[in-house]
Amino acid sequence: MRPPDAAEAPGSAAVSPDALARELGARSREAMDISLQKKYVKATIEGLLATYPPVMLAKRLVKPGSDIKSGLKSLAKHGALRLSFESILLEPRFAPLANTNDLDCARFNLSEADPSYRPPSE
């Protein structure tokens, strides 16, 4: 077994799930900071970011069973779906953090918000 720091070494083929989750958190935070600054989303996302770990939050926001969220609709209206949790979760780098259902839901939500949008994985 490799030591934990070896899995996170720059340029290594494998990245630990914890390191990937931290990277997802940083990427999500950056996207939400931009979205808040440009007023694409409401400040309530701040509370969610503070309450939930990044992977859990992304999965909560892409889950099925509810109408398309207002934040996603707003991002679509402004041509900024690349900043959505759905789009970030679909980045090939972060896909290992989610299951097939999560990824399918993310794709579905994005296509509902803007049928012409192509997520990074496609």
State the Cα angle at 86 between 85 and 92, rounded to 5°.
Answer: 105
CA distance 15 to 66: 33
Please name which of 56, 91, 66, 88 lies closest in space to residue 75, comparing C-alpha atoms. 88
Predicted pLDDT at 5: 41
Token reading at 120: 């990074």
In the chain, domain spans: 16-113
3-class DSSP assignment, residue 80: coil
Contact 61, 86 (CB under 8 A): yes
pLDDT over threshold 60, residue 4: no
pLDDT in tens, 45-95: 888 889 999 999 999 888 876 566 888 999 999 999 999 999 999 999 998
